[in-house]
Amino acid sequence: MTPSLSPEGKEHFVRACRLLGLLLPPPNRRKLQLLLKFVRRVASNPRLRLDGSGRQGNLSLALTVLSPAVLRPYAHLSHDADVGRRAAALFAQMYEEVWTPVEELRKEVEEKVRKKKSSQRDGRFCFL
């Protein structure tokens, strides 16, 4: 069920998903992260059996049920449910790559936070 991509395709997918994630309002972005994290946990739990008949694996069943919540089209647009499941599967499969901040960005943010904290500490002592 999980689609495979070439290394170049994966890189493009990760970049596109990062951009899409940034375009979402923060509360929606967090809900998407939590939903995808839940799908990954359900799929990776070997003791959990969602389908009593054994015809569908946990990942397949979770994506069938939850992919409309991940990729809900507007009511007036038609969509292919299979394409939505495959996109949600890729999104869940590449969760870490998509949601982990780029190293350069993480370092830049940490440096700005450190400078801000440093300037705040200096400002507190100016009043003595």
In a domain, 112, yes or no: no
In a domain, 111, yes or no: no
Q: Which range, of 30-34, 42-46, 53-57, averages the lowest pLDDT?
A: 53-57
Taking CA atoms, 58 is separated from 10, 50, 78, in Å, by 23, 6, 27
pTM assigned to the model: 0.61
- The pLDDT of residue 122 is above 60: no
Are the C-beta atoms of residues 104 and 87 closer than 8 Å to each other? no
- Which residue do the tokens 């069943």 mark? 61
Structure tokens at 47: 């003791």
In a domain, 110, yes or no: no
In a domain, 40, yes or no: yes
Q: What is the DSSP letter of 121?
A: H
Q: Mean pLDDT over residues 58-77, rounded? A: 69
In a domain, 45, yes or no: yes
Please state the length of the chain: 128
- The pLDDT of residue 61 is above 60: yes
What total number of domains does the chain contain? 1
Task: Give the structural domain span for 36.
Answer: 7-102
In a domain, 122, yes or no: no
In a domain, 21, yes or no: yes
DSSP helix/strand/coil, 110: helix
Structure tokens at 109: 């943010």
